[in-house]
Chains A and B, each alone.
Chain A
Amino acid sequence: MTRYIVRRLLIAIPSLLGISLVLYTILALAPGDPFGDLASNPAVPPAVAEALRQKFGLNDPIMLRYWHWLMAMLHGDWGFSFVSRVDVDQLILQRLPTTLAVIGASQVLALAVALPVGIYAAIRPYSLFDQIASTFAFIGFSLPTFFTGLVLILIFSIQLDWLPFVYRADISTPGLLGVWLHIKQAIMPVMVLGLFQGASWTRFVRASVLDAIRVDHVTTARAKGLKERAVVLRHIVRNALIPVVTLIALQLPTVFGGAIVTEQIFRVPGIGSLLISSILANDTPVIMAVTFIFACLVIAFNLIADLLYGWLDPRVSYS
């Protein structure tokens, strides 16, 4: 087991290096310039933009810039944003709580919907409940979040005027009222993301449970005269959830990555909106840091998923 983990970690090093090299090269080759604003402003002499490029090392060859970035990264220095001239780790840390709260809550919601609905629909396949659940699941993952987001805004903010549609991370009202304000503004983004994710997970849980129901040991359990509840929870769901756990573990890095589109619609100051605004502003150090952390998390959670697999399913061994 330990040897397996060590081996996997060692394999991760070259993959991360490769990923970072590819990311850096693509970003460097992509068109655009963080000082483009300066270029189209007739009041700013071109020499100013050129001096800034020089100062921030944008005129060096790509490989040299990559080398500088890599060395700094190894020392824990993530560089600073060209646009806001703030250290990148500070920018990311500032956005982390909101991202974790909103995206985390939506994943929990997705799970809370997907598990019971998926299981119940699977143990009574083609019943009225299953039909309705399937219909809604299809609608749920067929509608893009930017559409459902706008529909919710139109209904709950514009028509009914119940919920705000501009998310404010700085609400400082003390006590329960402040908590309520925080929850109130998070309802719509969490619903949009959670139900979208929940819909596809429902289908997945249902399929997985359906597979597990038909297995022989379930028939045996029923023949033994076990209560239906015990059969479902202990013999069906436990086995059915093994692939679901893997799926969720692989999904967790996205909690960090945020939701670009939804964050933009509701102005949630999460990592997704940081990423998209950095891309639009060609702010390479920020894009690089966010995507690279994301790559690290994907690799880490892959490993965790594999380890979980062995723990859940004794048939899997790592020797």
Chain B
Amino acid sequence: MDEEDLRGLIADVRAGKLPRRAFIARMVALGLTAPLATQMLVHSGLAAEATPFDYKPTKRGGGGPLRVLWWQAPTLLNPHFAVGTKDQEASRIFYEPLAGWDPDGNLVPILAASIPTVENGLLAEDGKSVTWKLKKGVTWHDGKPFTADDCVFTAAYCADPATAAYDIATYKDIKVSKLDDYTVKIEFPRPTPYWADAFVGARGMILPQHAFGDYKGANSRQAPANLAPIGTGPYMFVEFRPGDMVSGKLNPNYHEPNRPYFDTIEMKGGGDAVSAARAVLQSGEYDYAWNLQVENEILQRLVKAGQGRIEIIPGGNIEHIQINFTDPWKEVDGQRSALGTKHPFFSDPAVRQAMNMLVDRNAVHEYIYGPAGIATANFLNNPERYRSKDTSFVFDVGKAAKTLEDAGWKPGADGTREKNGVKLHVVYQTSVNAPRQQNQQIVKQAAQKAGISMELKAVTASVFFSSDVANPDTYTHFYSDIQMYTTTMTQPDPGQFMLQFVSWEVAQKSNKWAGRNITRWQNPDYDALWKAADAELDPVKRAALFIKMNDMVINDVVVIPVVYRPGVAGVKNNLQVRLSGWDNDMWALKDWYRT
């Protein structure tokens, strides 16, 4: 699909021939994110409409307590120190950004009065600046007014390297200035297609200048408000025990009418996912449980108790197998998998194609993950109702064997195929995690039938995902032939995500294995496309570039997508929640209510 096709589809949406949702679905199936798809429509003059949420309560409060269970306990309440999602979620109870992302990828104003567009003049046509109009009459929990100064301060706070904010990259190159008390302008150093990063979503939560003003930089750790947040959110801070629980009470001056519904909120942390599911679905002690990474069979059994339901949250996480393009067994200059070496057999495209046909995605979906892991052919994906019908994948041992046979890989004495003395012996590594080990078995069985012998290796998650330079078992060292894990894709723009295949990001000894390109695949055409997309302001052209990049990676079998993993949450029957896979679970806590 190229730019012209995209324009055609957009015209169909305009003419009413193609529903918006269907358009977004097609885009997502092509490997784009919902926010980018929506951006294309907006850019083409089709105004965005946030997915309406049916909020019933007619007065503020009166809903009693809301109890939510996070099986990873929140450890801090400063959103800009919040490395883990659990901490972002806990901070989001109290703090708010200017806008959040709804499930269809629309920007929804929260502390902003409106969403900037080129039409309303707030978004510069050259992509070098954006102006945000702030909502008036919003107060912090301590009664002080919320103004543009707070936005300017938050940006400066995060941009200061001494503050050690995790989202420094979002703020360090932009210039934020106050036009008047309720208007801020962000200037970018160069045309920036993805302008909705600063002040938006998880990285955009605004801090009050009066509480953090003295604690910017080196003494950021000492701010009392780090442990007792003062925000603008629907609930006010009551108590925090790091690693255990956070509680809040209704904010009587919340800036939206009739909200919030609950009188108190309690977020309890710790334990494990299975018992969290049990506390919501079976015993009903809690109202909501986050991220239920539980075997499907157990979840289904718990749902039968009739206390609660499972909500599937479409997002962009993908469990995939990466193929090593360098030689993991040859040591060059103190490192293996070094650039300049060639993988003994995966450098042959036929072997990669065969490997692609040996991953039984349907079995993985059906027997391991259920609705929490949907078989997919694309590197980026979304749930079934959005999926385009023309994407497909094959699982065919016979065809894989034939592909290998045709390419000259003949079975040796021990049944393993070989060519010119090179045996198809694959070492397959992943992290220790029951579903992943089951997946390894499924792949191994199919591979052996096709004449590829496979050795399985499982590394403890804390080692596998660490950035330890000295440890050869981390995923970035990639000292094996193939490996599997999930890349999380919570950020709404695919730009950063697709960075993991560009040449200059290859993880090597020289960059302490901190590069993003783990497969070490290099392709100048891809690099050119990425650079073009990075500067392309027209979302339609940009989308076309991303689709091309996605196709290159898939067609060349650089990675083998296995299952798309949407978020899974447990919700008590009478609780109404508003969730989005492109933002935190708590992004619209203000709208939650009980029937």
The size of the chain B interface, using a CB distance under 8 A, is: 64
**Interface presence of B164 (CB below 8 A):** yes
Partner of B245, one of A49, A157, A168: A168
CA distance A158 to B471 in the complex (A): 44
**Interface presence of B339 (CB below 8 A):** no
Contacts of B245 in A (CB 8 A): 168-170, 269
Instruction: Give the residue name and chain of the A residue nearest to B462 (CB).
Output: A32
Partner of A51, one of B69, B76, B161: B161
**Interface presence of A280 (CB below 8 A):** yes
CA distance A165 to B278 in the complex (A): 10
**Interface presence of B500 (CB below 8 A):** yes
CA distance A94 to B254 in the complex (A): 31
**Interface presence of A61 (CB below 8 A):** no
**Interface presence of B438 (CB below 8 A):** no
Q: Mark B145-171, 1 if CB is under 8 A from A, else 0.
A: 000000000000000011010111100
CB of A267 within 8 A of CB of B166, answer no
CB of A170 within 8 A of CB of B496, answer no
Instruction: Give the residue name and chain of the B residue nearest to A31 (CB).
Output: B463
CB of B166 within 8 A of CB of A83, answer no
Instruction: Give the residue name and chain of the B residue nearest to A53 (CB).
Output: B467
CB of A166 within 8 A of CB of B76, answer no
CB of B283 within 8 A of CB of A161, answer yes
Known contacts A32-B462, A38-B166: does B271 contact A166 (CB below 8 Å)?
Answer: yes
CB of A43 within 8 A of CB of B496, answer yes
CB of B241 within 8 A of CB of A269, answer yes
Contacts of B279 in A (CB 8 A): 165-166
CB of B268 within 8 A of CB of A45, answer no
**Interface presence of A148 (CB below 8 A):** no
Q: Mark B466-503, 1 if CB is under 8 A from A, else 0.
A: 11100101011000000001011111000011011000
Contacts of A86 in B (CB 8 A): 76, 226-227, 242
Contacts of B496 in A (CB 8 A): 42-43
Contacts of A89 in B (CB 8 A): none
CB of A43 within 8 A of CB of B491, answer yes
Contacts of A277 in B (CB 8 A): 73, 75, 243, 270
Contacts of A42 in B (CB 8 A): 487-489, 491, 496-497, 499-500, 516
Known contacts A42-B489, A267-B270, A269-B270: does B241 contact A170 (CB below 8 Å)?
Answer: yes
CB of B462 within 8 A of CB of A36, answer yes
Contacts of A2 in B (CB 8 A): none
Contacts of A267 in B (CB 8 A): 268-271
Contacts of B574 in A (CB 8 A): none
**Interface presence of B42 (CB below 8 A):** no
Instruction: Give the residue name and chain of the A residue nearest to B246 (CB).
Output: A170
**Interface presence of A209 (CB below 8 A):** no
Instruction: Give the residue name and chain of the B residue nearest to A150 (CB).
Output: B275
CB of B242 within 8 A of CB of A84, answer yes
**Interface presence of A48 (CB below 8 A):** yes
Known contacts A264-B270, A264-B271: does B514 contact A83 (CB below 8 Å)?
Answer: no
Contacts of A39 in B (CB 8 A): 465-467, 476, 514
**Interface presence of A295 (CB below 8 A):** no
Known contacts A38-B166, A39-B467, A158-B282: does B271 contact A265 (CB below 8 Å)?
Answer: yes
**Interface presence of A288 (CB below 8 A):** no
CB of B268 within 8 A of CB of A36, answer no
CA distance A55 to B219 in the complex (A): 12
**Interface presence of A50 (CB below 8 A):** yes
**Interface presence of A85 (CB below 8 A):** yes
CB of B511 within 8 A of CB of A81, answer no
CB of A81 within 8 A of CB of B164, answer no
**Interface presence of B221 (CB below 8 A):** yes
Known contacts A42-B497, A83-B76: does B488 contact A166 (CB below 8 Å)?
Answer: no
Q: Mark B77-115, 1 if CB is under 8 A from A, else 0.
A: 010010110000000000000000000000000000000
**Interface presence of B418 (CB below 8 A):** no
Partner of B243, one of A51, A157, A269: A269
Contacts of A161 in B (CB 8 A): 283
CB of B169 within 8 A of CB of A166, answer no
The size of the chain A interface, using a CB distance under 8 A, is: 51
Q: Is the interface of B mostly helix, strand, loop or mixed?
A: loop
CB of A273 within 8 A of CB of B270, answer yes
CB distance from A168 to the nearest CB of B (A): 7
CA distance A246 to B448 in the complex (A): 60
Contacts of B119 in A (CB 8 A): none
Partner of A40, one of B243, B285, B488, B499: B488
Contacts of B488 in A (CB 8 A): 40-42
CA distance A50 to B268 in the complex (A): 31
**Interface presence of A91 (CB below 8 A):** yes
CB of B270 within 8 A of CB of A84, answer no
Q: Mark B279-301, 1 if CB is under 8 A from A, else 0.
A: 10011011000000000000000
**Interface presence of A274 (CB below 8 A):** yes
Q: Mark A133-162, 1 if CB is under 8 A from B, else 0.
A: 000000000000000000001000110010
**Interface presence of B239 (CB below 8 A):** yes
**Interface presence of B308 (CB below 8 A):** no
Instruction: Give the residue name and chain of the A residue nearest to B511 (CB).
Output: A46
Instruction: Give the residue name and chain of the A residue nearest to B197 (CB).
Output: A43
**Interface presence of A52 (CB below 8 A):** yes
CA distance A48 to B270 in the complex (A): 27
**Interface presence of A66 (CB below 8 A):** no
**Interface presence of B515 (CB below 8 A):** yes
**Interface presence of B272 (CB below 8 A):** yes
Contacts of A169 in B (CB 8 A): 241, 244-245
CB of B81 within 8 A of CB of A44, answer no
CB of A32 within 8 A of CB of B226, answer no
CB distance from A182 to the nearest CB of B (A): 15
CA distance A46 to B162 in the complex (A): 16
CA distance A153 to B84 in the complex (A): 30
CA distance A165 to B462 in the complex (A): 28
Using CB atoms and an 8 Å cutoff, list the residues of chain B in contact with chain A. 69, 73, 75-76, 78, 81, 83-84, 161-162, 164, 166-169, 221, 226-227, 239, 241-245, 247, 266, 268-272, 275, 278-279, 282-283, 285-286, 460, 462-463, 465-468, 471, 473, 475-476, 485, 487-491, 496-497, 499-500, 511-512, 514-516
20 CB contacts below 8 A, A to B, read A31-B466, A33-B467, A36-B462, A39-B467, A39-B514, A42-B487, A44-B167, A49-B514, A51-B161, A51-B168, A55-B162, A84-B243, A85-B226, A91-B242, A94-B242, A157-B283, A161-B283, A165-B275, A273-B243, A277-B270
Using CB atoms and an 8 Å cutoff, list the residues of chain A in contact with chain B. 31-33, 35-52, 55, 80-81, 83-86, 91, 94-95, 153, 157-158, 161, 164-166, 168-170, 264-265, 267, 269, 273-274, 277, 280-282
Besides A36-B467, A166-B285, A170-B241, 20 other CB < 8 A contacts?
A32-B462, A35-B467, A40-B487, A42-B489, A43-B496, A44-B167, A48-B169, A49-B514, A83-B75, A85-B226, A86-B227, A158-B278, A158-B282, A166-B69, A166-B268, A169-B241, A169-B245, A264-B270, A267-B268, A267-B271
